[in-house]
Amino acid sequence: MNETIDWDKRKQTWCGLVAELMREIKTWAGEEGWLVQERQKQITEEHLGTYSVPELTIKTPGGYVVAEPVGRNIVGADGRIDIVSFPSLNRILLVRAHDQWHLKTESRVVWPKSWSRDAFVELTNNLASIT
């Protein structure tokens, strides 16, 4: 069975999911009193072309964390956003699969907690404090 992929629809859906997730992260960060800067990141992917999605830089008392979209066409997933600490560059992967966001370590081990406000706050605090 040969199905034609609607790449434009796939890109629009992905951009909407990223925007929704970033709004959620901004809200949670704001509730913690963290400063958030948003900028548009341009990504170019095969079949999808070039598109812009929000990227967030979050300043916590312990340091900086960036929520950085990587792309939609990811092997084994339906998209990925990295949560990266600076200056250590440690990261947690936020992977989209089966219509949900899943947390994984850099070595692709599934994080024991589901994506939620509490998981975001805990991970951000831990990542930001690593030097």
Task: Give me the mean pLDDT over the 47-75 stretch.
Answer: 94
Cα separation, 31 vs 43, whole angstroms: 29
Most confident range, picked from 22-26, 86-90, 125-129: 22-26
Cα separation, 113 vs 47, whole angstroms: 33
pLDDT digits (tens, 9 = 90+) for 92-122: 999 999 999 999 988 777 888 889 999 999 9
In the chain, where the domains are located = 7-128
Cα separation, 55 vs 21, whole angstroms: 10
